[in-house]
Amino acid sequence: MKENNEHIHLPEGPEDIRIFQPSQWFFSKEVSSGILLLFASLTAIIWANSTIAETYHHILHADISISVGDYHLSRTFVHWINDGLMTLFFFTVGLEIKREILAGELSSPKLAMFPIIAAIGGMIVPGLIYMAFNHGTPYAGGWGIPVATDIAFSLGALAIFGKKVPFSLRIFLTAFAIADDLGGVIIIAFFYTKGIIWKYLLISAVSVLVLALANMLWIRWIPFYVLMGFITWLAMMGSGVHPTIAGVLVALCTPVRSRYNIGRFVREVKSIMDNFRHNEEIGDYWYSILMSHTPLRTVHSLASACRKVETPLQRLEHILHPWVAFLILPIFALANAGLTMEGMSLAEAAAHPVTLGIGLGLLVGKPVGVLLFSYLATKTGLASLPEGVRWSHIAGAAMLGGIGFTISLFISGLSFSSPELLNYSKLGILGGSALSGIAGILFLTYDYIRDLKKWHWFS
C-alpha cells in the first residue's frame, strides 16, 4: 500500500525547524539520564564496599523463577535485569538506529559516512589495544569491552559546554554513538553467543518474520507487536543467542509509516477546528468541558488525529525512552557497577592485563581510532567534516567517546564469570571512562579558551 505523498510546505525558519528535529528531545533526555547514571554507579560502589555489602550481593543473586505449566524459567535477579530489562534498552537502541537510518543523521551516505567511519575506528583500535595486552591469555575474550561508547554519559559531558560548542558537534557525537551501539549489538550477536539451540532459534526467526510481514501488511496495532516481541524474546532466551538481540530485531520490524500523512492530518485538524463553534454560554471555565459535549468531542477528535499521524516507532520511542533512561539504566548501573575493593590490591589490579587493556582501550584507543579513521575518510574523499566543526572539536568528542559505561559493563558480564576478572574489568571501565570524560572536558575547555583569546587578539 502506498501513501499519498502530497507536497507539504514545512517551516523554513531555524526556530521552527528545531521543532521537527528529534535530536533536540533525544539529547535532553540523554543528558539527564547521564546524571542519574552517575549517581546510581556511585551508590553501587559505596554499597558494595560498605558494612552491609552482603545485602548488595544477596539481592543481586537471589533466584527468581517463572513457571507456566511445564515451562519453567529460573534466573538470578541480576540476570533478569541484564537479560530482561536490558532488552527494552536494546529495543530503544534499535528504534533510535532505525530512525537515524531512515530520517536522521545516518539517512544519507554523505551525512552518515563521517560518524560511521569514526565509529568503526573507535571500535577497531580499542579492541586491538586490548588484544595487545591479552592475546594468547584466557582473558582474550574480553576484547569487545572497550569498543563501546555510552551515549548518555558522553552527551552529558558535552552538555557542560552548552552553546560554546557547535550544535552539529552534538549531532556528530549522537550519530557516532548510535553507530557505535549498532557495532556493539553486532559484536554481542556474533561473538558473545555460545551454544545454539536451533529449535528455539527457529521459533524466534519465525516470530521476527511474522513481525516483518505484519509491517508490510500495514498492521499498526501496537499490542500485536508487543505480544510477538515477547514471544521472540522468550524464544531467543532459550536459543543461546543473547535475548537482548530480540529487542533490536523487534525494533527494526516496528512500523515507521503512520495512518495519516502530514497533508491529511493538517486537513483533518483544520476541519475539526472549522466545525467547532465557540458557544458563549459555555464560557472559558474549567467545568465547561464537563457541561458540554462539543468541546469534549473536539478534544477527542484532535487527539485521535494526533495518534494517527504519529508513527508506531515514534510513539514507542517517546513512551519507552524516559523509562529506559530514568529507571532501567540506573537499575542496571546499580546492579553492575558495584566494584568490590575488599581484598583487592589496587596497584596489582591496575596493572592486570584486563584492566590495562580496557582502560587504555577507552582512554587512548577511542580518540586515536576515531581521529585516525575520520581523518583518512576526509583525505580519501569518503566523508567531510560536519559544517561548523573543527578537528579540535572532533578530538574532544573522540575523547568523550571513551566513556564506555553501559554496553562495556554489559559485554563485561558476557565475557567473564569470575568475580575477580569482573572486578578488574569494572576497574578498567570505570577508570578509563572517568579519565576519558575528564580529558575530553579539559581539552574542549582549553580549545574554547584558546578560541576566545584568538578572537580577542584580532579585535
Report how far residue 175's alpha carbon sits from residue 178's, in angstroms, rounded to the nearest whole number: 5
Helix (H, G, I), strand (E, B) or coil at 61: coil
CA-wise closest residue to 373 among 402, 396, 400, 394: 394
280 pLDDT band, cuts 50/70/90, is very low
13 grid coordinates: 525558519
pLDDT greater at residue 35 or residue 2: 35
Contacts of 162 (CB under 8 A, 6+ apart): none
Residue 71 has pLDDT above 80, yes or no: no
Residue 1 has pLDDT above 50, yes or no: no
**b vs e for 56-87, b when ≥16 Cβ sit within 10 Å of the residue's Cβ?**
beeebeeeeeeeeeeeeeebeebbbbbbbbbb
Report how far residue 234's alpha carbon sits from residue 200's, in angstroms, rounded to the nearest whole number: 9
pLDDT, the chain, mean: 84
Residue 20 has a pLDDT of 40
Report how far residue 439's alpha carbon sits from residue 349's, in angstroms, rounded to the nearest whole number: 22
Matching residue, cell 536522521? 104
Long-range contacts at 74-82 (CB < 8 A, ≥ 24 apart) = 77/335, 78/335, 78/336, 81/331, 81/332, 81/335, 81/336, 82/244, 82/332, 82/335, 82/336, 82/410, 82/413
Residue 211 has pLDDT above 60, yes or no: yes
> With 0-12 CB in 10 A as exposed, 13-18 as middle and 19+ as buried, what is 187?
buried
Residue 433 has a pLDDT of 95
- Can you spell out the DSSP letters for 254-304? S----SS-HHHHHHHHHHHHHH----TTT-SSTTHHHH-HHHHHHHHHHHH
Residue 312 has a pLDDT of 84
The CATH architecture one would assign to domain 20-192+242-257+311-458 is Up-down Bundle (1.20)
Helix (H, G, I), strand (E, B) or coil at 5: coil
Helix (H, G, I), strand (E, B) or coil at 417: coil
Of all residues in the chain, what percent are helix, strand and coil, respectively (each to 5)? 75, 5, 25
The predicted model gives 185-201 an average pLDDT of 86
